[in-house]
Amino acid sequence: MLFDVWAPDARKVTLHVSDGPGAVPVSVPMAPSPVRSGWWEAEAPAGDGSRYGFAVDDGPVLPDPRSRRQPEGPDGPSAVVDQDAHVWRRPWRGRPLAGAVLYELHVGTFTREGTFAAAEEHLGHLARLGVTHIELMPVCPFPGRHGWGYDGVAPWAVHEPYGGPAGLKRFVDAAHGHGLGVVLDVVHNHLGPAGNHLPAFGPYFTDRHRTPWGPAVNLDGPGSDEVRAYFIGSALAFLRDHRLDGLRLDAVHALADDRAEHFLAELSEAVDTLAATTGRPLFLVAESDRNDPRTTTPRSAGGLGLHAQWNDDFHHALHTALTGESHGYYADFARDPLGALATTTTDAFFHAGTWSSFRGRRHGLPLRRPGAPPVAAHRFLAYAQTHDQIGNRALGDRLAAGVPTGALACAAALVLLGPGTPLLFMGEEWGARTPWQYFTDHTDPELAEAVRRGRRREFAAHGWEADDVPDPQDPATRDRSCLDWAERDRPGHRRLLDWYRTLTGLRHARPQLARAVLGDARVERGDGARERWLLVHNAPLYTAVNLAPDRPATLRLPSRHTTLLAAWSDATHLAGDVLELPPLSAAVLT
Residue 4 has pLDDT above 80, yes or no: yes
DSSP letter (8 states) at residue 25 = P
Residue predicted with more confidence, 463 or 192 = 192
Phi-psi group of 381: left, alpha or beta (phi > 0 → left; psi -120 to 50 → alpha; rest → beta): beta
| Whole-number pLDDT of residue 530 | 83
Residue 325 has pLDDT above 80, yes or no: yes
The average confidence (pLDDT) of the chain is: 96
Confidence of residue 584 (pLDDT cuts 50, 70, 90): very high
Phi-psi group of 270: left, alpha or beta (phi > 0 → left; psi -120 to 50 → alpha; rest → beta): alpha
Confidence of residue 131 (pLDDT cuts 50, 70, 90): very high
Measured distance CA(324)–CA(212) in Å, rounded: 30
Is the Cβ–Cβ distance between 557 and 547 less than 8 Å?
A: no
567, with CB counted inside 10 A (0-12, 13-18, 19+), is buried
Task: Write out pLDDT tens, residues 13-48.
Answer: 999 999 988 899 999 999 999 999 999 999 999 999
Catalytic residue among 120, 173, 287, 441: 287
| Whole-number pLDDT of residue 490 | 96
| Whole-number pLDDT of residue 370 | 87
Confidence of residue 509 (pLDDT cuts 50, 70, 90): very high
Is the Cβ–Cβ distance between 46 and 1 less than 8 Å?
A: yes
Measured distance CA(425)–CA(106) in Å, rounded: 9
Has 287 been annotated as catalytic?
yes
| Whole-number pLDDT of residue 340 | 97
Lowest mean pLDDT segment, chosen from 172-186, 436-450, 459-473? 459-473
Phi-psi group of 15: left, alpha or beta (phi > 0 → left; psi -120 to 50 → alpha; rest → beta): beta
Measured distance CA(418)–CA(415) in Å, rounded: 6
| Whole-number pLDDT of residue 437 | 98
| Whole-number pLDDT of residue 422 | 98
Residue 560 has pLDDT above 90, yes or no: no
Buried b (16+ CB within 10 A) or exposed e, 392-410: ebbbbebbbeebebbbbbb
| Whole-number pLDDT of residue 166 | 98
| Whole-number pLDDT of residue 527 | 82
Catalytic residue among 151, 173, 245, 250: 250
Has 48 been annotated as catalytic?
no
Mean pLDDT in residue range 434-451: 95
Cross-strand bridge partners of residue 564 = 589
Share of the chain above pLDDT 70, in %: 100
Buried b (16+ CB within 10 A) or exposed e, 244-274: bbbbbbbbbebbbbeeeebbbbbbbebbbee
How do beta strands 102-105 and 133-136 pair? Answer: parallel
| Whole-number pLDDT of residue 202 | 98
Residue 3 has pLDDT above 80, yes or no: yes
**Phi, psi (5° rounding) for residue 61?**
-75, 120
Task: Write out pLDDT tens, residues 521-538.
Answer: 999 999 877 899 999 999
Residues annotated in a binding site for substrate: 248-253, 312-316, 387-392
| Whole-number pLDDT of residue 463 | 87
Mean pLDDT in residue range 127-147: 97
Residues annotated in a binding site: 248-253, 312-316, 387-392
| Whole-number pLDDT of residue 461 | 81
Cα 239–Cα 241–Cα 243 angle in degrees, nearest 5 = 50
Mean pLDDT in residue range 105-118: 98
- Structure pTM? 0.97
| Whole-number pLDDT of residue 338 | 97
* Of 109, 130, 136, the residue nearest 434 (C-alpha): 109
Confidence of residue 466 (pLDDT cuts 50, 70, 90): confident
Q: Cβ atoms within 10 A of the Cβ of 301, count?
A: 11
| Whole-number pLDDT of residue 152 | 97
